[in-house]
Amino acid sequence: MFLYGKNSVYERLKANPASVRKIFLQDNFDDELIVKKIKSLKIPLEKVNKRRLYRIKRADNLGGVVAQVQPFQYSSFEDLIYKPEPAEKPTFIFLDRIYDPQNLGAIIRIAACFGNFSVVIPKHKACPVTETVLHVACGAENFVPVCLVTNLSAALIEAKRCGWWVAGAVVEGGRDLGGFELPQPLCLVLGSEGKGLRYGVRRHLDLAVSIPMKGAPISLNVTAAAAICCYQISKQSKG
């Protein structure tokens, strides 16, 4: 895989340098902080012109740096729910039919910013962690476990068996997200825009929550909804 952009590469160098195999820098790259970090870690480095860099990774906003890294390593969902009792159990963000890598990357970044969140995505009919996802996440993948499961419903059932509550975000008809104390530990389920949560997933909910909106009768982008929900969950968990 290739990481690109200053933030993505620098965060990986700090958090998991062993995963970086080689770095390509544009010949006029002048970020001394990143250059010093690469040299201190003794990671293979090659300087190339702009055209060559674009051939290595065809994407906008390369930022003059591309890193060849190991394939993304998903976390084990079972390990997270069965591990010895932590001081604070993580909140799982289950994503149902999220196909846009921009949305997935942004949600991983949101989860990292608030802390103590893990993301769960299905193996089929959803966006996996791609190079675009990592670029949008801006290094957040180093701080948020991302789990790939065969079946979302089965994973929800197992989480409930281990003591997690399941709340699904719906556009209408749910309880006011900020109007009551959310149960903990929690699995938050977010669905695709337009289609929402599938019936097979929704039937496992313990409760449905909605974000109160008094403005135009349109729904929020799933990324915006994730940010509001994570804020409220984080606020309550920290008292």
Q: Is the pLDDT of residue 239 over 60?
A: no
Contact of 27 with 47, CB cutoff 8 Å: yes
Q: How confident is the model at residue 220 (pLDDT cuts 50, 70, 90)?
A: confident
Residue 104 belongs to domain with CATH number = 3.40.1280.10
State which of 49, 69, 89 marks the end of a domain. Answer: 69
Q: Are residues 124 and 195 in the same domain?
A: yes
State which of 24, 51, 69 marks the end of a domain. Answer: 69
Q: Are residues 216 and 100 in the same domain?
A: yes
Q: Are residues 149 and 207 in the same domain?
A: yes
Q: Are residues 36 and 130 in the same domain?
A: no
Domain range for 43 is: 2-69
Distance CA 65, CA 8 (A): 10
pLDDT of residue 87: 65
Q: Are residues 35 and 120 in the same domain?
A: no
Q: Please state the domain count of the chain.
A: 2
The phi, psi pair for 47, rounded to 5°, reads -95, 135
What pLDDT digit, counting tens, does each position of 7-60 carry?
999 999 999 999 999 999 999 999 999 999 999 999 999 999 999 999 999 998
Contacts of 126 (CB under 8 A, 6+ apart): 95, 96, 97, 98, 99
Q: Are residues 188 and 228 in the same domain?
A: yes
Q: Are residues 102 and 215 in the same domain?
A: yes
DSSP state of 111: H
Which segments of the chain are extended strands (E)?
2-4, 20-26, 45-48, 65-69, 91-96, 117-122, 146-149, 165-169, 175-176, 186-191, 207-210
* pTM of the full structure: 0.94
Q: Sort residue 154 into left (φ over 0), alpha (ψ -120 to 50) or beta.
A: alpha
Tokens read off for 165: 């509550």
Q: Are residues 42 and 94 in the same domain?
A: no
The closest of 174, 213, 170 to 190, measured between CA atoms, is: 170
Q: How confident is the model at residue 237 (pLDDT cuts 50, 70, 90)?
A: confident
Tokens read off for 141: 């993948």
State which of 53, 69, 85 marks the end of a domain. Answer: 69
Q: Give the count of beta carbons closer than 10 Å to the beta carbon of residue 167.
A: 24
Q: Are residues 14 and 117 in the same domain?
A: no
Q: How confident is the model at residue 213 (pLDDT cuts 50, 70, 90)?
A: confident
Distance CA 183, CA 34 (A): 43
Collapse the DSSP code of 75 into the 3-class scheme (helix H, G, I; strand E, B; otherwise coil) and give the result.
strand
Comparing 61 with 4, the larger pLDDT belongs to: 4
What pLDDT digit, counting tens, does each position of 173-209 carry?
899 998 999 999 999 999 986 677 888 999 999 999 9
Residue 57 belongs to domain with CATH number = 3.30.1330.30
Q: Are residues 109 and 149 in the same domain?
A: yes
Q: Are residues 8 and 85 in the same domain?
A: no
In degrees, rounded to 5, the angle at the alpha carbon of residue 101 between the alpha carbons of residues 96 and 106 is: 85
Tokens read off for 103: 């949305």
Q: Are residues 15 and 55 in the same domain?
A: yes
What pLDDT digit, counting tens, does each position of 69-100 carry?
999 999 999 999 987 665 678 999 999 999 99
Collapse the DSSP code of 152 into the 3-class scheme (helix H, G, I; strand E, B; otherwise coil) and give the result.
helix
